Chain A
Amino acid sequence: MIWILFAVGFWAAAWSVNLALARMNLRGAARLIIPAIFGMTLLVIWEGFVRGLNVSPVILPPPSAIALRFGAEMPTLWADFSQTFLKGALRGYAIGCAAAFVTAIAIDRSPFLKAGLLPIGNFISALPIVGIAPILVMWFGFDWQSKSAVVVVMVFFPVLVNTIAGLSATVPMQRDLMATYGASYAQTLVKLRLPAAMPFIFNGLKIATTLALIGAIVAEFFGSPTVGMGFRITAEVGRLGLDMVWAEIAVAALAGSGFYAVIALIEKRVTFWHPSQRNEPT
């Protein structure tokens, strides 16, 4: 009971600190304090409730146990990370996003293809991609190639749909202006429509970062070599090594957040002009 009370008390204290901090208009790296405190709170609540309610460690281990295992299993975690993230997810992400971008531009150029491919693309984008993971594993073998293939398929359509939406984001008046300048198709594309599409494209790219990691991990559930985050998770659940499972989940969360942050940073540089990126009180 005392653990739960402590957790709730900690939460209340942390929240008021955060409110105060938010009012102080922190700049730069200091802004990171707020989410860090929030995260700390979540962990303390987790630890408090697991200990307070005597939850069995094979159901939900406390964060402290996970951290210990994390520290002890660094080499394994790194091997899994490089297999799943560096080999599977990143390559698939790059190929998938590039392919989607090129396809979007190609479709945009040809009204015939746009009319033909867009409805079909929409249809396929709605496909629950998880379902094709077993099929792709069957086709591309067990190593990272099949994981990349799943990632390519998973990220392709969100990026495609967003890019196409972005390319039609200009208002007629802006396009008319380009026409009065005598701009060619390519000029209009590069100088008006692509920049205008960037917020949408980055929206797609950001959604794709999380999809990429999930795709690579999920594909490992359907067959894999004996290394990889998805493999470790299934194997350890069976061995009741739930602390290891959560350590892998923590790696996934860290890798995914880092990946997302990188894309968000690039977005900030590229779409500095968009109202949502302006650094002023909203």
Chain B
Amino acid sequence: MQFIKYTVAGTLFGFVLTKAEVISWFRIQEMFRFQDFHMYGIIGSAVLVGLVSIQIIKWFGLKDIDGRPITILPKDTTHMKQYIIGGTLFGFGWALTGACPGPLFALLGSGITVILIPILSAIAGTYTYGALMERLPH
């Protein structure tokens, strides 16, 4: 029950994704063809709001609702190749499915049952990465 608050937050997030049409395969195509500002406006304004929020949290040293200080771990900068290789591979998948992980789950909720296939394939992809990771360049 202690995790219900995250489900509420997720519901809000999933609802916004559908109303923003971010979960639309067509919108992702429009973005990768540079034919509309919509997706760039969403990502850009989301980053701007996130950036300002994080600065406020850091500046005032805000705590979470349980009173613990908020800490945001920096990303690992010792192995940089993984970001361009993994990022590009994800980009292939993003353009093919027209959905990143959040939208995949929201699309499933909207009633498109065949989205279970890319979700199960993504789990298989993650499993394969876990099995092969020691042999991959990072």
- Chains A and B belong together in one complex: no
